[in-house]
Chain A
Amino acid sequence: MQKLLLTIDKISTFVGQAFSWLIVSLTLMISWEVFSRYVLDHPHSWAFDVMIMMYGTLFMMAGAYTLSKAGHVRGDVLYGFFEPRTQAIIDLILYVLFFMPGVFALTYAGYYYAAESWAINEHSTITAEGPPIYPFKTMLPLAGAFLLVQGIVEIIRCAICIKQGSWPTRIEDVEEVDVDKLKEMVHVKDDDIAKLDQFVVQQGSTK
């Protein structure tokens, strides 16, 4: 079971990471467009559409990836104080109550939304000769589907946790605040911090 969960995690992660490279191309494209417009005096009419599409695709497709890394923002007032089992029960209920209907509705509606766009061969109307927009709209149900699958994985995780009393492991990933990496970056070792304690203790004793 755990193997299956991790495989799906890996798929979500792969998809999310693959699409996350769009940020690099987005940066380069806009930078080039700015250069082209102001210096070469040669703006491109499709630039705005492409920008939006890259951005939309980027974050939509990263949704499942973020979920698989437990990266979606949650109110951490009480959650952190719960026992893992309590956490899992709450999560399980709310996944079934909120997540599943919401994301399913999004995917379902998105499917027809995209299908209509394909049917009429829809093009962007921001400029006269706008690029086709149906591939972009397809991202909506696609992202929803990945999210749905990942959501099922999370539900199973909750179930496992209720049974075991502890959360099953996840695959490691880059973290926003990776203390060890930051320590290495500024050349601080744990010993140095431990040595500092004497100053702290000293201060405490003088008071």
Chain B
Amino acid sequence: MKVKKELWFGFSLMAIILATVVIFMPWSNFVDGHLSRADLGYLGLLMLALIVVAIMLGFPTAFTLMGMGVFFGWLSYRSVNPDLAVQQILDLMVQRAYSVMSNDVLIAIPLFVFMGYLVERANLIEKLFKSLHLSLARVPGALAVATIVTCAIFATATGIVGAVVTLMGLLALPAMLRAGYNIKLAAGAITAGGCLGILIPPSVLLIVYGATAGVSVVKLYAGAFFPGIMLAGLYVGYVIIVAKWKPHLAPPLAASERIVPLPPLSQTLSSRSPNALAGLFGGLSVPSLPKRQVATQLFVSLLPAISIIALLLLMYAGATAPIAAVDTTGLVQSGGSLAADSDKPAEASGLQEPPKEEGGLQEPPKEGADLKEPPVEPGQSASAATVSPPAAAASVQAVTAPAVPAPAERVPAPTWYWIVFGLGMAGLLLVNWLMSWQRLEIFKMLLASFFPLAVMIIAVLGSIVFGLATPTEAAAVGAFGGLLLAGAYRYIAAKQAKSGNAVVKTMVDLGGIIKESSFLTAKTSAMVCWLFVGSSIFSAAFALLGGQEIIERWVLSLGLTTLQFMLLSQFIIFILGWPLEWTEIIVIFMPIFIPLLPKFGVDPLFFGLLVALNLQTAFLSPPVAMAAFYLKGVSPKHVTLNQIFAGMMPFMGIQVLALLLLYIWPQIGMWLPNLLYK
């Protein structure tokens, strides 16, 4: 029986842990009652072993930690002064609990969680997936690629693995199966994509790590951005290669699947010209057509052009503005010294690498800088999707719009600006030339699903990373944005349903959404934060007992090199990911690893990125991979769990590869934080 095997394995693991502890414990000293410093340390290790066993037994971890922390802390105090021990441990405990209650890092957790629930309930994933898979239709393995991209965006905004995997299992899995995709590939794409939200900021994992390790969350976000993109890129790359190499696993979409139905107006106009722009211009002068509709369509199709021009104008303003006159008052207040410093390095590298660095020089709204970087990539990589460059531009435009033109004394525009200008103009022409009626429809769909979410994420992340807002503030504004987004989408849905008053229906809907989301937020934050209460008491007791010293001495006595230490620690975390959840691993074990880092000259920030990437694999490693079970819950009954696991394996391999890449080239993660905060 399978169940029995699992139990036996678990119990034997527990038995091994306990046996090791029992054998190595210096019992004779305990019996004597003379507890030396070293004995207490061993007691600390005993506590650590016991906690692993207790967690494996399945009792709520927060309270296991709390209870054990109190007991062992009391033992430790008692060995010094038995009379004061009770009072001391109570004081310690309440101080620790209060420090979690008033923690200004953890406060961002409920807000991000709230934002996630709201976005999830905005009900835009269906549109998002559809528009993405239509716009990516020509890419090999289009559906799987669209799945991963949808997951990446949606998971980033919500951060709820279970919901994302379930939703994609409902939407993407049927689509892929119908298109003849291999089950394993489809399952792998969904589960792997759904877990991306763990890594890509704004993720709760990074906040928890930041709070535990005392690393700035802002830096972690800046650092995790590119590794996250890289991982998503590797997934996409893998799918494309598989689709090219073995087309029977991921057959291209049938032509009938790609066609987007045109609205009647476009149909009439399309007979006049194959190009949407030309057709619409022509349509303006045709009296028989409704002028307002044509004008609206024209405006929409001109959006990419408008945003490119607006962007170029803004950049001109930024590039020619006297550097000294840059108005950083707002930035200095919030971002401290970094705002002033960030100009210089950005400018220097901007000269060498024109298209990427425009942001560094750009004027007042510093958001502009971050906005430009992400869009550059989709624009270049997704050449098949011609809508991407304008798309990227549009998202930039939306946020940079309120920029004020620079004051007097302009400097002549540097050469790189003209290169960018040329590229921009070429892009503009290309986009308008390629804008067929079909593409216009796809663009409109993207406009309604992809861009609002992308703009929101980029605005939240950008304002954090560029020091405009603290993570807390950005999270709150993001949650507010999620509220608006949910309201807007519900309003559109209510309008389309045409049942009663749309405004009233939206308000009722929205009320329900807010209620559900806040209840869920309360439960999720209580779960995470009570775990913190427990673990802070626990780690205080561990430190009191001196268990840390023993571990430190032991690790140092091994004489590991930095590489060996890193391999060992990542391996341990990887193994721990099997029985434990990421929250438990971080709050219990990071306090043990972090003090060792300086001894090996490892940056805790870099370590955090590796840990975040590593813990991703925990979600995909059988037999406790949550993602697989969520997918199994909504897939047809002949899809077996083993098929899903088999599908996840290559993606797990990619994660390990990504971990290696990040280790070999730390710049992938460290480049952005170093650029911004050094």
Question: Footprint of B on A, CB under 8 Å?
Answer: 16-17, 19-21, 23-24, 26-31, 33-34, 38, 48, 51-52, 55-56, 58-60, 62-63, 65-67, 69, 71-82, 87, 90-91, 94-95, 97-103, 105-106, 108-110, 112-113, 136-137, 139-140, 173-177, 179, 182-183, 185-188, 192-194, 196-197, 199-201, 203-204
Contact = CB atoms under 8 A, between A and B. Distances in A.
Given A19-B522, A52-B102, A74-B61, A98 B584 contact: no
Given A72-B63, A140-B94, A59 B330 contact: no
A65 B525 CA distance: 12
A113 B94 contact: yes
A79 B132 CA distance: 41
A66 B90 contact: no
Interface in B519-575: 519-531, 533-534, 537
A105 B178 contact: no
B160 interface: yes
A177 B522 contact: no
B71 A75 contact: no
A179 B174 contact: no
A91 B59 CA distance: 6
Interface string B630-648: 1001111111000000000
Which 5 pairs between the two chains have the least Cβ-Cβ distance?
A: A79-B58, A98-B67, A20-B522, A30-B476, A102-B66
Nearest to A144: B97
B477 interface: yes
A194 B177 CA distance: 12
Given A66-B526, A137-B98, A94 B57 contact: yes
Interface string B154-177: 000000101100110011011001
A74 B170 contact: no
A176 B66 contact: no
B59 A98 contact: yes
Given A26-B476, A74-B61, A188 B171 contact: yes
Contacts of A28: 480
A109 to B, nearest CB: 4
| Residue of A59, A113, A136, A183 with most partner-chain B CB within 10 A | A59
Contacts of A24: 514, 518
Nearest to B481: A31
B104 interface: yes
A80 B479 CA distance: 35
A56 B584 contact: no
Nearest to B129: A186
Given A81-B6, A186-B170, A199 B54 contact: no
A66 B523 contact: yes
Given A30-B476, A74-B60, A182 B518 contact: no
B524 A105 contact: no
A69 B60 CA distance: 12
Contact of A186 (B60, B61, B104, B126): B126
B627 to A, nearest CB: 11
B286 interface: no
A105 B54 CA distance: 20
B281 to A, nearest CB: 38
A20 B519 contact: yes
A196 B175 CA distance: 10
A128 to B, nearest CB: 18
Given A38-B330, A174-B516, 6 more contacts: A20-B521, A23-B525, A62-B526, A99-B67, A102-B70, A203-B182
A173 B515 CA distance: 12
Interface stretch (B107-115, B288-296, B319-327, B407-415): B107-115
Nearest to B60: A72
A77 B530 contact: no
| Residue of B101, B174, B638 with most partner-chain A CB within 10 A | B101
A23 B162 contact: no
A30 B477 contact: yes
A17 B106 CA distance: 20
A205 B167 CA distance: 28
Interface of B: 3, 6-7, 10-11, 54-64, 66-71, 89-91, 93-94, 97-98, 101-102, 104, 106-107, 110-111, 114, 121, 123, 125-126, 160, 162-163, 166-167, 170-171, 173-174, 177-178, 180, 182-183, 330, 469, 472-473, 476-477, 479-480, 483, 514, 516, 518-531, 533-534, 537, 578-581, 583-584, 624, 630, 633-639
Nearest to A193: B636
A74 to B, nearest CB: 5
Contacts of B97: 106, 110, 140
Nearest to A25: B518
A171 B135 CA distance: 45
A78 B13 CA distance: 11
Contacts of A19: 522
B588 to A, nearest CB: 11
Interface secondary structure of B, over-half rule: helix
B634 A193 contact: yes
Nearest to A16: B522
Contacts of A26: 110-111, 476
B172 to A, nearest CB: 10
Contact of A81 (B7, B162, B514, B533): B7
Contacts of A56: 101-102
A27 B665 CA distance: 39
Given A110-B94, A199-B177, A203-B183, A72 B61 contact: yes
Given A31-B476, A59-B529, A75-B55, A97 B67 contact: yes
A23 B110 contact: yes
Contacts of B121: 185
Nearest to B52: A75
Given A23-B110, A58-B525, A196-B636, A185 B94 contact: no
A30 B93 contact: no
B527 A179 contact: no
A30 B527 CA distance: 23
Contact of B170 (A66, A72, A99, A182): A182
Contacts of B7: 78, 81-82
B261 to A, nearest CB: 18
Contact of B527 (A73, A97, A188, A196): A73
A94 B71 CA distance: 13
B643 to A, nearest CB: 9
A51 B125 CA distance: 32
A77 B624 contact: yes
Contacts of A201: 638
Nearest to B118: A27
Given A62-B522, A176-B520, A186-B171, A75 B107 contact: no
Contact of B476 (A27, A52, A79, A81): A27
A183 B633 CA distance: 11
| Residue of A56, A74, A76, A99 with most partner-chain B CB within 10 A | A74
Contacts of B533: 106
A203 B584 CA distance: 40
Contact of B580 (A38, A75, A106, A139): A75
Contact of A105 (B3, B90, B583): B90
B61 A73 contact: yes
A59 B525 contact: yes
Given A52-B102, A200-B177, A66 B527 contact: yes
B522 A51 contact: no
B530 A59 contact: yes
Contacts of A74: 55, 58-61
A197 B178 CA distance: 10
A196 B166 CA distance: 16
B525 A197 contact: no
Contacts of B64: 94, 98
A8 to B, nearest CB: 17
A23 B519 CA distance: 9
Nearest to A111: B94
Contacts of B534: 102
Contact of B473 (A30, A101, A179, A192): A30
